[in-house]
Amino acid sequence: MASSRRYLDVLTGLRFLAAAHIGAYHVYHMVFTGTEAPPGLHGLLDSGYVSVGFFFVLSGFILGYHHLERPPDTREARKAFWVARFARLYPLYALGLALAAPAFFKGLHAAWVEAPGELWRLDGALVLAPLLMQSWVPWTALAWNGAGWSLAVEAAFYAVFPFLAVRLGQTGPRALAVGAVAAYALALVLPVLYLLVDPDHGPASSYHSGPWMRALRFNPLARLPEFILGLLAGRYFLLRADAAPRARPVVLTALGVFILAVLMGSASLPFPLLHNGLLAPVFAALFVLLPRSQGLMASVLASRPLRFLGEASYSLYILHMPLLFTWKSVMKRLDVPSTSVGAVAVLTVGVVVLCVAAHQWVEKPARRWIRARWAERAARRAEAGIQPLA
C-alpha cells in the first residue's frame, strides 16, 4: 500500500502540470490572438496539444497498474468497471457541456442565419457530444465543449479495455517489448502517411487543419496505440515492481530536459507526428521511472500542493475552455483589455479556484452517488439470487 500511495502521489502531481500546459496553450491562442512569444516560449505554449497525448498514455498506464493483474473478465466485472469510469468522468463532462451551451447554441443560431448549408456540421454534435461520440466524426469533434473530444476518445478506450486486459494481463517481458515497438509504430504510421500523401493539400497546425487532419487528430482508432503503449508500460511496471532498482535522478532529469527541449522546438517538428504520439515512449518511460525515484523531481511532484491540484486536474481540463469563453465575454462587456497582467491573473486564479470547487462539490459527490447506486443494485441482485454471467 505504501508503494502504491507514493506512485499515485507522484503521478497525481504530474497530471496537474500536463493539465496546466493544455490550459496555457488555450490561453495563448484565445487570449493573446495575433501575439507571438519568443521562439522557445512560443514552442512551449504552442505545443499544449502534446499533453493530451500524455494523458492517453497515462490513462493506459494507470488502468494497467490497477487492473491487469485482476482484469474485469466477467460480465458483472466489466459492468462495474464501466460504471466506475462513467462515475469518474461524466458528471464534470456534463457540467462542461452545460457551461459551454450558451456559446454553442449561439453558434448554431448564427450558422442557421448566415450559412444554413453548413448547419449539419454542428447540429450532429447535439446528439453525439452528450453520448461521448463526437470524436468519431471530424467536423463535430471540437463542437460544443472543445476539450471534450479527448473524453470521447477515452470513452472508446474504456469500452475496449476489459477485453484488452484479459489478453495483456499475462504478457511476459519479451512480448511486452515487441508489443511496445508495434504500438509505437502503429501510432506513427498514420501521421507518416498523412505527411507523404498530404490529402488536405495545405499546412497543418493545431488551429488550422482539413478534414483528414481532423480525423487523424481526433479519431479514437488513430489514438488507440498511445493508450495501448501505456497499458504495456503499466504491465512492465508491475512485473518489475519488486526487482527493479531505484531510478537515478539524473535519468529523470535527462527525460525532463528532453521533453522540454522537444516542446520548445515544436515549431520545427512535423505537427502530425508530434500531435499523435511522437513522445509517447518517453512519457511511458517517465511513468515507469518516477515512482521508483527518491530525487528532487519526485519529491516536488508528490508534495501536498501539487497533489491537491493534481486531484482537480480533470476538472481543470474539462472546464477551462467554457470558463475561458465566459471570461472573454465579460472582459469585452467591461471594455477591459484581456491581455493585461491583472486580467490574466484574475483569469488564472479564478479558473483554478472554480475548478477545485467543482472537483470538491460536483465531481466527488456525484462519483460517490453513482457508485453507491450501482452497489445497491448489485446487492439487490445478489439478494434475489441472480448469478452474474461470465
Q: What pLDDT score was predicted for residue 170?
A: 81
Taken in order 289, 272, 140, 47, the sign of the CA dihedral is: positive
CB-based contact 272:194 (threshold 8 Å): yes
Q: What pLDDT score was predicted for residue 388?
A: 52
Please list the alpha-helical segments (H only) found in the chain: 2-30, 39-46, 50-67, 75-114, 120-123, 125-128, 149-168, 173-197, 211-218, 220-239, 249-264, 271-275, 280-289, 296-301, 304-311, 313-334, 341-358, 364-383
Enter the C-alpha cell of residue 18: 500536463
d(CA 171, CA 234): 11
Q: What pLDDT score was predicted for residue 69?
A: 85
Q: What pLDDT score was predicted for residue 11?
A: 92
pLDDT tens track for 135-181: 999 999 999 999 999 999 999 999 999 999 988 888 888 999 999 99
User: Residues of the chain whose pLDDT is less than 70?
Assistant: 1-7, 117-118, 242-247, 385-390
Degrees (nearest 5) of the Cα angle 297, 302, 306?
100
pTM: 0.93
CB-based contact 230:174 (threshold 8 Å): no
- Four-CA torsion 35, 41, 45, 47, nearest 10 degrees: 120
Q: What pLDDT score was predicted for residue 242?
A: 62
| Of 32, 24, 9, 12, nearest in space to 351 by CA | 24
Q: What pLDDT score was predicted for residue 7?
A: 58
pLDDT tens track for 193-210: 999 999 998 777 777 778
Q: What pLDDT score was predicted for residue 386?
A: 56
Q: How far is CA 13 from the centre of its chain?
A: 15
Q: What pLDDT score was predicted for residue 79?
A: 94
CB-based contact 188:137 (threshold 8 Å): no
d(CA 9, CA 306): 9
